[in-house]
Structure formats: structure tokens, C-alpha cells
Amino acid sequence: MSGMWLTAKEIAALFGLTERSVQIRALREGWTSRPRVGRGGGSEWFVASMPDETRRRIAQALVGQAARQGRKQFAPSVNAKRGQPLCGLPEHGRRRAEARAFIVNVVRHAIQSNVVKPYKVMEDFVVLYRRRKAPVPEWVYAALRKISRPTIWVWMQKLDAKGLRGLAGEHEKRRPKSPFNLSPKLKDFVLGMLHDYPHVSSAEVHRGIKGRFGPGGKEEGAAKPPSLRATERWIMKWKGENALAILARKNPDAARSRYGVAFGDAAAHVASLNGEWQSDGTLAELMLSDGRRHTLNLVIDVYSRRLRFHVSRTSSSAAVASCLRKAIRAWGVPDVWKTDNGKDYTSKPIERVMAGLQIFHETCPPFSPEKKPFVERAFKTFLHSHVEVMAGYSGRRRPRPDYTTRGKSWRSRPLTTCTPWTGAGP
């Protein structure tokens, strides 16, 4: 295109017609023409001499062409150079700025062609946008529900004056002037209490704030003590934004189970039956006829998920060997046997069995149940889905850990904090 003059080829491309059809229409409607300067010759048609309906159709076609050309530039993507002016803004602010910039780019491209007056181009685009027929991607409609001609003018001015960040809105002015944001000492004090006492209530935190920063406090005048409700809101918001940090402080094991990252397939390296077995044992919540709880040993074939259980009074090398013997008689000899590093699985009798049957015994690092996930999942399914509906189910009567064990993983808790259950009482 060259300003207000268009060739028959360019008009045909906009309307989806042939060049001959455009030439016949130009002669019929009396368009003004001039010889085309450049290689190939031909004629150019003066757009201002065309009928209003023809000029309007050309304007709409140019809007669509500009949208297609600007789609790649302003589509939301991870572009460090373009995203740098928008850093620090919320996601909806960045998306809104990109959508506004997309529309400004489309309209400006149509205006630069000088087909019709700028306000006409904007009016046509607004009408198409309201009907959801404008050639823009769906993410633009999702970010901007309504637009108007004066609004587009304002966006153009803001884009020229402030860049992309000017199209995002005044987010900095909306930032709440919370006393916790204004006083680093107050914020550090609250976060320190939440770290040392993760179960502390907002009322206790507020009492601590008044005692530290209130009249007669150690740091009187360093910060204005907020109200109880303001303290509750700030703590609730902070906990919602830092759920992983709070759970890791309260219960590291639960945080690892809930937020631990796992990729791929844990059984991808097992290609055949008996390629790998996993074993473990636990004290079952099941009362037998002798009135005692017994230990449950389990062997699982990772490839087929076949299971073998063995019930014994206590966990010992003999019980582990008996469970392994049942599985070998039923399935055959495994290539790899994976267990934890407990003394029941690393004793000399077990090692002699492994050497005699030529089984590779792989032990997991201490406190790493994720290294043998299949046997752990099998235990959970059995104990929480099947055992609980049995007649001899004794229920989970283990005493709750003392407060001194909170915030510690299982590996760092002392072994004397939980007294063994004797079988009497609820």
C-alpha cells in the first residue's frame, strides 16, 4: 500500500476478489486513477473517490490485516524484553495492558493507511468489537469486555507517554498503606512469632505487638500498633500466600507429602515381572483373637502390583524372611529387593538369604519413604480402606505428639515422646 492510493492487486487482496473484478468495478463507479510509479506499471486508485460503503469495507479489511500483523507482537508470552516494563504488576494488570496495546496497534495501523478519517476507523472497530466480530484473539475479549472510541484515544496517549505500564492502570496508588508494610520492625516481629509459634492465635500476636510497640514497650514509638482486626486480616492473608511455608514449619513431613514434586513414572525402570520387589512392615490397627495388635509385613511386585502379606507378633528378621518365602514360592525369585535400612532387613540372616538366591538387596536412605512409593501406597490403601471396616479394627489410639515435637520432622523427633499403647482403654 502507498498512502491514499491502492492498486487493484491490493484491493483484490482485501476483498478476496480478482484484479479484473476490481478494475471493472472501478470503471463502473468512476474511481479516480493515476499511473503507478515503479516496476511493473499499472494504475493506482484514489480511495477518497470511492463510495462510502467501499471505503468502509476497506477500513474494516485493514483493521483485520493490522490485527493479524500485530498478533505475534502483542500476544501474551514469556518475553523478558517486552515484559520488563510490566514487572511487579499483578497478572490481570499485565494482561489488560497487553490487550489495550494490541487494540491500539490495530487501530493505528488502519489510521496510517489514510483510508477514512481516524474517528471513523475507531467507530467501525468498536462496532465490530461489541458484536465480537473484530479480528482479535479471544484473550483480548477476555481481558477487555467493553471499549469505546474516546477510550481508544486515551490509550494512545498513555502508550505514547508512559509505555505499556501506562496501560495497566494505577496499581501503585491502590497499594494499601498497612502498618505492617510501613514498619519493617513490626512486620519482622509478627513473622518471628509465626515462625517460632506457628499455632499462635492472632489475639496473642496482637497482645505481643501492644507489649512491644505500645506504651511502655521495648520499642515504643517505633511503629503504631494496629487493631486486632487489622492484625487478623494481615495474618490470614500472609498465611494464604505462604501456605507451604506455614505447613513446613508446623509439620515438615506433611509438607513434603503434600507439596513434594514428583516427575515421571517411578516404575519406568522395571521392564518385567519380578524385576523389582519392595517390602516394608508396620504395626496394624487390627486386633486379633489374642487381644493384641500385630505387625503386618508386605511384599509387592512393582511390575504387576501383586501383593503378599504376612502377620507376625513383632517385626523381626524371621517375619521378614517368612513373608519373602511366601512371595518366592508363589511368584519366583526377584532380581532386586528394595527395603528400608531397618535392622530387620539388614540382619545377617537376611543377607545370607540374598546372597544364596543371588538377589540384589537395595536399601533406601533413612527417612525416605518416597524411595519405595509402591509399598507405602499399598499400606495406605489397605489400612485406610479395608482394615477400618473389619470387626477387629482397634482404631487409631496413638497419643498425640507433645508440643515440643511440632515443627520437627520425624527424623528429628525424640523417640520417647510417644508412649506405646498397652491395649487397654480407648
What was the pLDDT predicted at 331? 93
pLDDT tens per residue, range 48-58: 778 877 777 77
**H-state helical runs in 117-197:** 118-130, 138-143, 149-162, 179-182, 184-196
Measured CA to CA, the distance from residue 12 to residue 67 in angstroms comes to 19
pLDDT above 80 (res 219): no
β-pairing verdict for 336-339 and 277-287 = parallel
Measured CA to CA, the distance from residue 166 to residue 178 in angstroms comes to 25
CB contact set of 144 (below 8 Å; sequence gap of 6+): 96, 99, 100, 103
Compute the C-alpha angle 24/28/30, nearest 5°: 115
pLDDT tens per residue, range 344-379: 888 998 999 899 889 999 988 887 888 888 998 898
What was the pLDDT predicted at 322? 92
Compute the C-alpha angle 253/255/256, nearest 5°: 65
Estimate to the nearest angstrom the gap between the alpha carbon of 80 and the chain centroid: 20
The total of other beta-carbon atoms located within 10 Å of residue 61's CB is 18
pLDDT tens per residue, range 269-302: 899 999 999 999 888 777 777 878 888 899 999 9
What was the pLDDT predicted at 97? 85
For the ranges 2-16, 17-31, 79-93, 220-234, which has the lowest average pLDDT? 79-93
pLDDT tens per residue, range 96-155: 888 888 888 888 877 776 556 777 778 888 888 888 887 778 888 888 888 888 888 888
pLDDT above 80 (res 397): no
Q: Which H helix or E strand runs over 405?
A: none
- What the block records as the C-alpha cell of 30 is 468512476
Domain spans in the chain, listed from the N-terminal domain onward: 51-172, 179-241, 277-389
Q: Which residues pair with 301 in a beta bridge?
A: 277
Q: Which fold has domain 277-389?
A: Nucleotidyltransferase; domain 5 (3.30.420)
Whole-prediction pTM: 0.43
